[in-house]
Amino acid sequence: MSILKEEIRLNLNNLQNEIDSIFAQGKSAVLSEVTVGQVYGGMRGLTALVCNTSYVDPYSGLHIGEYTTEDFSSRYPEEIFFLLCTGKFPESDFLDEFRIELNKRTGVPEYTWDVLRALPKDTHPMTMLSLGILSMENESIFKREYQKGIAKTEYWKYTLEDALNVLAKLPELAAGIYRIRFGDGELIPHNPNLDWAGNLANMLGISGTDEKFAKLIRLYLVLHCDHEGGNVSAFTSRVVNSALSDLYYAISAGLNGLAGPLHGLANQECLKFILKIHERYGVAVTLDNVKNFVLKTLDSGKVIPGYGHAVLRVTDPRFTAFMKFGDEYCQENYCFKIAKMLFAVTPNILKTYNGGKVANPWPNVDAASGSLLLKFGMDQFDYYTVLFGVSRILGFCAQNILAQGLGQPIIRPKSVTNKWVVEHLKNNKINA
């Protein structure tokens, strides 16, 4: 994979030059101050990390390199991996080269399937994905080379090797999990002529699906790939890798964070909400029905899934990309119609409800994706987060490759006790 490696090397040189010039201006310059509220409030809004793969702007959403979501949403996930690692799109021959490279590295080990088949039948598919990756840890090239003794400047190259090996096996692994957990357990072989997402779509073996489903999976794997460095899964993955635990440990750890209902599970909640509206009103549902349902949900103290965001202050451009797909391929689908009705009524309700306390009344990435997956027969809601995970692994890999290439040290912030905080405020005569 010489092109990718060479472009990563160039990107690392550029990033290192930028860091050198930042440091030349003084390492003690203050970037942000920390309040008591932030220390006790999940570090929200605290600028304490650098991530050079992607950036989330409150008003224009996810950027990868200099590209907006609109710029990259029609690309292939393989191109997005290149973009995350290098800051630029690859040349047109990259996709073929990358497929050939990944084809050499496919083949989930038999022992991984044994591990997954030995689990209780009702094991969550995210547990299976995390365990599946972890079970292959013994294959780590980074670990093998590290034990031999390599220079720190070489770490990123072996982290890239591990990344390519994991990415090559990922469609097989993820599809196999679907087949074992929800199907008859018979695996569909990898097709060397298909692209990364096309292979995953094919190996899931969902009957009645076609190229449009592959297109949806491609879009899904592009849109969930990365969301800068501070989200639970990416941060966890980076912290683990910063201890030089290899990428298998780091990916598995990141996935464990993604599996939480406050992070990666929101998409299935959105679909359940849509299905509840359908159950209540049927196909003749009107905008007024949806409006009433939203208001009733809010009055009962619940949130409207798929709306609001901790960082964004506009409609998530990833939601817009899913809606565009839906308008093209799912117009007549009852779930998609309800997703559209929700979009038509919910922001205006949230803007004023309860004094307008919701900081962002607009839809996020999760508001429509489930209805699109369901339309194509993907009716196992628990599996949606696995798709999110497959995509987010692109970001985990890229973030860790770049961090290793920049020689970033082990992450170890300082924690304090309540007593320390009390003393600090008293000694410094600070009042809230």
- State the catalytic residues: 263, 309, 366
Is 11 near ligand HAX (CB under 6 A)? no
| CA atoms of 182 and 184, how far apart (whole Å) | 7
Which of 237/364 has CB closer to ligand HAX?
Answer: 364
Q: Per CB under 6 A, does 244 bind ligand HAX?
A: no
Q: How far is the CB of 347 from ligand HAX (least distance, A)?
A: 10
266 binds ligand HAX (CB under 6 A): yes
- Judged by beta carbon, residue 212 or residue 263, the one nearer ligand HAX is 263
Q: Which stretch binds ligand HAX (CB under 6 A): 48-56, 183-191, 305-313, 322-330?
A: 305-313
Residue nearest to ligand HAX according to CB distances in the complex? 308
Q: Are 222 and 80 in contact (CB under 8 A)?
A: yes
163: nearest Cα among 78, 224, 96, 231: 78
User: Which of 308, 324, 333, 411 forms a contact with ligand HAX (CB under 6 A)?
Assistant: 308
From the list 190, 215, 238, 309, which residue makes contact with ligand HAX (rule: CB under 6 A)? Answer: 309
Closer to ligand HAX by CB, 43 or 310: give it. 310
Residue 346-385 contact track with ligand HAX, rule CB under 6 A, x = bound = -----------xxxx---x-x-------------------
From residue 50 to residue 89, what is the string marking binding to ligand HAX with x (rule CB under 6 A)?
----------------------------------------
The answer to whether residue 291 forms part of the interface with ligand HAX (CB under 6 A) is no
Nearest residue (CB) to ligand HAX, 172 versus 366: 366
Nearer to ligand HAX, 161 or 228 (CB): 228
> Binding residue for ligand HAX (CB under 6 A) from 65, 132, 257, 305?
305
Q: Of the ranges 123-131, 181-189, 204-212, 296-304, which one interacts with ligand HAX (CB under 6 A)?
A: 296-304
Question: Which of 3, 172, 23, 180 minimizes the C-alpha distance to 98?
Answer: 3
The footprint of ligand HAX on this chain (CB under 6 A) covers a number of residues equal to 18
Q: How far is the CB of 258 from ligand HAX (least distance, A)?
A: 8
Binding residues for ligand HAX, rule: CB under 6 A, are 263-264, 266, 298, 303-310, 357-360, 364, 366
